[in-house]
Each structure stands twice: as C-alpha cells, then as structure tokens.
Amino acid sequence: MSYDALFEPITIGNMELKNRIAVAPMNVGYAAPDGYPNDQYLAFYATRARGGYGLIITTAAMVNPYDWAGSEGMNPLKFTDYRYYRFWSEIIKAVHYYDGCKIAIQLSPGWGRQGHPNVGKPGVPSGAPSCVPLCMDLRDYFKKCKGNLKQMSKKVPAGTFESMDLDGLINMSDQEYFSTDFQQFLQDFLSQMDPEIYSFIWGDVPRELTIPEITDLEDRMAVQARDALNLGFDAVEIHSPHGYLIHQFLSPKMNKRKDEYGGSLQNRARFLMNIIRKIRKKVGPDKPVWCRLSGDELQPGGIHHDEQCLVAAMAKEAGVNAINVSQGSYEAMGSAFAPDGEGDFTRWAAGFKKATGGLPIMVPHFLTPARAEKAIKNESVDIIELGRQSLADPFWPVKVKTGREKEIIKCTRCQQCYIEFGAKHFLECAVNPVTGREKYFPELWLNDTTFGNRLNKAIKKMSGFPQI
Ligand SMILES: Cc1cc2nc3c(=O)[nH]c(=O)nc-3n(C[C@H](O)[C@H](O)[C@H](O)COP(=O)(O)O)c2cc1C
C-alpha cells in the first residue's frame, strides 16, 4: 500500500520539508554533564535522519543558565551560550547529509515548578510565575497508563508490594491517599528509589519570578533562537506545552500573579508572546519559528482548549509559522502526555488550524502509516510526529516508503522508555536494544557522504596499510 500523503513536501516559513514525518521532541537523557550534546546524540539523530524523517525536533534545550532553571538530574541539553555551539554544529551537519533532512531545536526558558533544582542544589527553589507547587496524583498516573504501572512494578524492591500494592493504590480513597502516614510512606519509598522521582510528584514550592527575571528570559530566548539559526538549525520550536515554565504562565491554575503577567489571558500569554515577538525581531520574517502547545491541560482549573486556541491565534499574530500540538501537563500525566494507542492528539488539530487561519499543524502519537495518513487527509494535521515509535524504529519512514511496512519494529507502549529515563536518566527501548547505543553502530548512521567526500577521500589515503 502506498501512503503518498505522508511523502508530499510542505513548506514552513522558508524551510521546505521533503515529507510529513517528524521525530517528536524527546529528552532521552544522553547529554554529557552540564547539558552538552555528545557522540551518542549525534548518532541518535543521524540514524533517524538516515531512516528518512523529513524533520527532527530536538529535545528541549535549556537557554536558562541560572541555578533555579530546573532539573539537572534529568540531564537536559542546554543551549545557554556559545560554549554549546560547537558540538551542535556537528550534529546539524551529520543530519543534513541525509537527503535534506531538517533539524529544529526546541528551546526552553526553564522548567519552572516542574523543575527541582533543590535535588542538586539544596535550598534553591525553582523560578515560576507563582508559588504554587506541583502535586501529581499517582492514582491517576497509574490508573490511566497501564504501561507506567507495569514498569514501576518492576522497579519496586522485593517485599515492597506487601505494604504497597499498586492496584490497591489505584483504588484508594482521597482520605487514605492523602493521609499523613501514607504520604510519608510514599515519600520515604520514592526518595529511596530516586529523590528526583519524589520531586516529580510533589514539587518543591517554587519562587515567584521578578519582572526583570522574566524579561531576561525573554531576551535569552531571542538571542539563542537567533544564534541557533545562524549555527545552521533550520527552525526553532518554543517549548511551551506540558506544564513547563511557559505553560505555567498560561495556566490559571499555576499562575496567580497580580501584575501584567497574570490574570487575563492576554496577561498570562504575555511571556510567550514577548518571546515570539523578540525572536521574530532578531531573525526576520522568513525563518521558521513555532511554539508547541498542549491542546488542553486536561485538569480542572488549568488552561483548556478554547483558551489555547486563542493563544494560538495570538501566537500567529506575534509571528509563528506553525503550531506543534501536544496535551496535558505533569500533573495530568497519566493519560495525557504519552498515552496508549495512537491518534489521540488529532482532536486538537482542527481547533488550532481554524484559530490560526490555516497554519501548518504538527501532531504526535502515531504508530501505523494508515492512521498517520488518515490524520493528514481528514483531520487538519499537516505533519505527523513519531515520539516513542521513532525510538522503537528509526527507519519507519523508509520502510513505509519502500513498501516494507511489515518490517516496522512496533512500539508496544510499554513505557520502558519513560520509566528507564526517569529512573536511570538514560533512555532505553524494550523492543529495540540499539536505541541509546547508536554510537557503537556507525553502520546505522555513517555512509559515504555523512561527513562529505573530502573526508572520505582523506580516510582512504590513511587506511588499508599493514601493521608494522
Ligand atoms: C522520553 C520522552 C521524553 C520527552 N521529552 C519531550 C521534550 O523534551 N519536549 C517535548 O515537547 N515533548 C517531549 N516528550 C513528548 C513527545 O514529544 C510526544 O508528544 C509524546 O511522546 C507523545 O507522542 P508519541 O505517542 O508519538 O510518543 C517526550 C516523550 C518521551 C517519551
């Protein structure tokens, strides 16, 4: 079966993509200390470029250089200043050698209350719009995503289940779940596994950012966006979904400010709009710049789809060329962030399409080419993104294009990627043991042109001699 709609080119700003298939932004935890990219990141992205993706969106790279930016332990990549540019330029080059694959950097001003600098730097609360701490309900997390439950069960030390049966946990009443004894038990147990996991569930109380700190972050986003494009990135994505810092400003549940950055939607959206305008001013009208928005926060009191559509419309006015769609936030992570099945996120595409007067819309959460093609043909989706499926099979696009669909290594939604990433800060895939180890298999990502013919000629001049 041919899936022609997936292989039609599309233009965003002045960037032409050869097809409609993108790697979704994913933190895979391979960064070197201090957020530097490395050989493994290069091999990870180049493998997927070779696999035929038209666009790779990097994991969120932090432009925020301050101690209060967020999680060090989750190993986020950084893009704070020139020290980070050298290795990124090698990655860009390796990706570009593969038949015009494009690469966008996802830039983040910080993790806000979803970050927890306290783990690495005791006494440092994260900077957020307001002092509202995160509280994830584990009952929801496990109930709605069986893969999370299965993986977490494997991590529990022998004997723990006698005192904490996860199925029992799901069915606990509020009274039992929030009782001091049970919360203390969870805290002890999870902190033992990993102090950071505990901080994911009950975040530290954040500190309210001052206005000079906010405008400083806006300026930093603009400078780093400009430098990223100058370095060779094809596009910039602003990291604004999932309850991270920009989303926290948007959400009435997380933003209780009384100044011009809080209250009305216009005020809550000011941080994002200033970032977009400041970037646009620095990079000119044609470069592809877009933001990622949760279609809906999916929790009471949060920002919902009607308001997010207004945000998308404002973002278009401020200068974005596309919208990347996601959903949920950490607090609503159970079903929201990376659910089972496929096609769940297409429900937000039509709203964003209409609100932005037809801007290109990118949507993740696919497994099969048939479902992906349906989204493009009938559901207002222009570019499909593969997140976990691209971890399972970096060669999905080429297999689909050459009629070898049956050979696709299928993502089973087992959530090992998430949980291993959380627990070990190094992502692995249950169905593809090569994921995370691509650097050891250059046959996957090196070919005659990867580093150019000049380099290949030079290598030939130096190889093949007997050992003396
Ligand atoms: C391990 C992992 C890390 C992720 N990190 C990011 C991130 O840095 N930025 C982002 O916007 N989304 C991130 N996501 C969300 C994905 O981009 C995607 O929206 C989600 O996995 C759902 O798509 P899927 O069903 O195709 O996996 C991450 C997802 C996974 C599995």
Is residue 318 lining ligand 1, measured as CB closer than 6 Å? no
Q: What is the pLDDT of residues 56-74, one digit of tens each?
A: 999 999 999 999 998 766 7
Name which of 68-72, 304-308, 412-416, 420-424 the model is least confident about: 420-424
The three-state (H, E, C) secondary structure of 445-465, written as one string: HCCCCCCCHHHHHHHHHHCCC
* Bridge partner residues of 135 (DSSP): 202
What is the predicted pLDDT for the residue at 96? Answer: 92
**From 111-120, 153-162, 283-292, the region with the lowest mean pLDDT:** 153-162
Per-residue pLDDT, 387:
98
Q: Which atom of ligand 1 is nearest to the CA of 427?
A: 1
Which of 86-95, 227-236, 250-259 comes out lowest in average pLDDT? 86-95
Distance 362 CA to ligand 1 centre (A): 13
CB of residue 70 inside a 6 A radius of ligand 1? no
**If 0-12 CB within 10 Å is exposed, 13-18 middle and 19+ buried, where does residue 461 land?**
exposed
* Residue in 23, 27, 44, 418 to alter for ligand 1 test, most ligand atoms within 8 A of Cβ: 27
* pTM for this predicted structure: 0.93
Given a cut of 90, is residue 435 above it in pLDDT? yes
Indicate which atom in ligand 1 lies nearest the CA of residue 339: 25
Residue 156 pLDDT grade (very low, low, confident, very high; cuts 50, 70, 90): low
Q: Across residues 322-338, what is the average pLDDT?
A: 87
Three-state secondary structure call for residue 88: helix
Say whether pLDDT at 266 is over 90: yes
Per the model's pLDDT, the better-predicted residue between 164 and 307 turns out to be: 307
pLDDT for res 147: 73
Mean pLDDT of 65-88: 88
Q: What is the pLDDT of residue 128?
A: 96
Report how far apart the first and last C-alpha atoms of the chain are (Å, whole number).
56
8 Å CB contact between 450 and 411: no
**Burial class (CB within 10 angstroms; exposed 0-12, middle 13-18, buried 19+) of 248:** buried
**How far apart, in whole angstroms, are the C-alpha atoms of residue 456 and residue 452?**
7
In the prediction, which pLDDT does 465 show? 85
The answer, yes or no, to whether residue 406 has pLDDT greater than 70, is yes
Residue 323 has pLDDT above 90, yes or no: yes
Indicate if ligand 1 lies below 6 Å from the C-beta of 375: no
pLDDT of residue 161: 45
CATH numbers and ranges of domains, the chain:
4-117+206-445 (3.20.20.70), 136-201 (no CATH)
Q: Which are the contacts of 200, defined by CB distance < 8 A and separation ≥ 6?
A: 114, 116, 134, 136, 330, 422
Contacts of 191 (CB under 8 A, 6+ apart): 198
pLDDT tens for each residue of 358-393: 999 999 999 999 999 999 999 999 999 999 999 999
Cα–Cα nearest to 355, from 403, 312, 324: 312
Q: Which residue has the higher pLDDT, 405 or 337?
A: 405
Residue nearest atom 10 of ligand 1, based on CA coordinates: 25
